[in-house]
Amino acid sequence: MTPLAELTTPALLLDVGVLERNCEAMAERAARHGVALRPHLKTAKSAEVARRATRGQGGGLTVSTVAEAAYFARRGFTDLTYAVGIDANKIEALHGIQRASGARITLLADRIDAVQAANSRARVLGATFRVLLEIDTGGGRGGVGPNDDELLSLAHEVQRSESLSLAGVLTHAGHSYHVQGGTAIRAVAEAERAGAVQAAGRLRAAGMPVDVVSVGSTPTAVCAQTLEGVTEMRPGVYTFFDLDQAARGICGVEDIALSVLATVIGHNPRSRRVLIDAGALALSKDQSAAEFRSGLGFGLVCHAGGTVPLPGLCVAELHQEHGLIACDGDGDGDDDGVQAMFRALPVGSRVRVLPHHACMTAAPYDRYHVVEGAGSGVQAVWDKACGWQAGA
């Protein structure tokens, strides 16, 4: 077991105990609602995480890039939903993945012209794909409205496409990330459910096959009161959680499984900052949680041995490879506070930073260093996908 002190920083730490607890809790929620759990692996991009997130489940995953599809297919995950509106130029790569691995990749579409373009490419290649119709239940990103006339014409277009078959409907309540509190999130969850079920009902009434009614986002998965009529949920960030979820009460800070290990490389008494070697690339500039809670800067700071935030400290500034930690009251001439911060974080010591948005922070790394509990060394190294190339 490698001590944390021997890792090269910045490094991405993942607490497997917290991860497994988060996975079990979400599996219980899915079971309670009687729906399948098809975790979104855009957050973790890791086969070892996928194994834990699909324990007791059908094994289906959600992915957001061709690179993730290739990565997971190569590691034995053969039921993949690619939950970004299909671009016909990606059909050849997706077909290659299906052929090499035996995987079944389900596509997403909300436009007749995109369906036609995808079908043309697939037909030339002799490929076949299942297609989910994307429903906009209020997120305002992709999708047709549950009541839109286009929904039926879109379904007919898929049904008459030689290389495509209709699998059902999918929606993502992305706006659940911008409301706080159980009541508000429950309302979004109900709009998400009701919209997807309504769209499914209209298709079925028109004689269309709708096997899948897929909803998902971590906030709505946690807060939904009923998922009646839904067949699967696709939360993702719950595997790791983060400050953004904690700021809205979706999880506690103690449920955050992901952190960035950094080294203290300097103290600047003039600017009253502690410098660490984790900057904007290592942490991301995401400050999602600031919508709901102040004082988080670009992340909370903990001693390397655990994930309990040091009171009054946060990463206040980011440069490309530098993070600058400040303490509360540093603008009020609180020299005692600054000196206490310098003493708590000597040069050469290690810290962990809890991120705002786990998906953004984890993305550029190519591996996780796996720990378990406070004071743990590195128990394992897990690979992960990164970037957009279907390489590794």
* Residues lying near a second copy in the complex (CB under 8 A): 5-11, 42, 64-66, 84-90, 93, 110-111, 113-114, 117, 136, 140-143, 145, 174, 263, 265-268, 270-271, 273, 275, 277, 280-282, 284-286, 319-322, 324, 346-348, 359-360, 363-367, 386-389, 391
Task: Write down the least CB distance from residue 237 to a second copy, Å.
Answer: 10
What count of Cα atoms within 13 Å lies in the side-chain half-sphere of residue 260?
35
Task: Write down the least CB distance from residue 17 to a second copy, Å.
Answer: 25
Q: Which is nearer to a second copy, 23 or 325 (CB)?
A: 325
CA distances from 96 to 70, 73, 105 (A): 9, 11, 11
Task: Write down the least CB distance from residue 391 to a second copy, Å.
Answer: 8
Q: Which is nearer to a second copy, 35 or 258 (CB)?
A: 258
Task: Write down the least CB distance from residue 53 to a second copy, Å.
Answer: 17
Question: Looking at the DSSP assignment, which residues form a beta bridge with residue 275?
Answer: 266, 324
Kind of pairing between the strands at 273-276 and 323-327: antiparallel
Cβ neighbours of residue 6 under 8 Å, at least 6 residues apart?
A: none
Task: Write down the least CB distance from residue 266 to a second copy, Å.
Answer: 5
Q: Which is nearer to a second copy, 35 or 351 (CB)?
A: 351
Contact indicator for 12, 365 with CB cutoff of 8 Å: yes
Q: Which is nearer to a second copy, 42 or 234 (CB)?
A: 42
Phi, psi of 115 (to 5 degrees): -65, -45
Q: Which is nearer to a second copy, 174 or 337 (CB)?
A: 174
Q: Which is nearer to a second copy, 87 or 335 (CB)?
A: 87
Q: Which is nearer to a second copy, 25 or 347 (CB)?
A: 347
DSSP letter string, 345-375 = S-TT-EEEEE-S-HHHHHTT-SEEEEE-STT
Task: Write down the least CB distance from residue 277 to a second copy, Å.
Answer: 6
Which tokens sit at 187? 């309302």
Task: Write down the least CB distance from residue 294 to a second copy, Å.
Answer: 19
Q: Which is nearer to a second copy, 214 or 217 (CB)?
A: 217
Burial (0-12, 13-18, 19+ Cβ within 10 Å), 339: middle
111: DSSP letter: -
Task: Write down the least CB distance from residue 260 to a second copy, Å.
Answer: 11
Which residue shows structure tokens 């919508």? 291
9: DSSP letter: S
40: DSSP letter: B
Contact indicator for 382, 52 with CB cutoff of 8 Å: no
Task: Write down the least CB distance from residue 263 to a second copy, Å.
Answer: 5
What is the per-residue burial (b if ≥16 Cβ within 10 Å, else e) of 345-357? beeeebbbbbbbb
Contact indicator for 39, 50 with CB cutoff of 8 Å: yes
What count of Cα atoms within 13 Å lies in the side-chain half-sphere of residue 55?
16
Q: Which is nearer to a second copy, 233 or 276 (CB)?
A: 276
Q: Which is nearer to a second copy, 6 or 311 (CB)?
A: 6
Task: Write down the least CB distance from residue 88 to a second copy, Å.
Answer: 6
DSSP letter string, 251-317 = S-GGG--EEEEEEEEEEETTTTEEEES--HHHH-S--GGGGT-SS-TT-EEEETT--PEEEEEEEEE
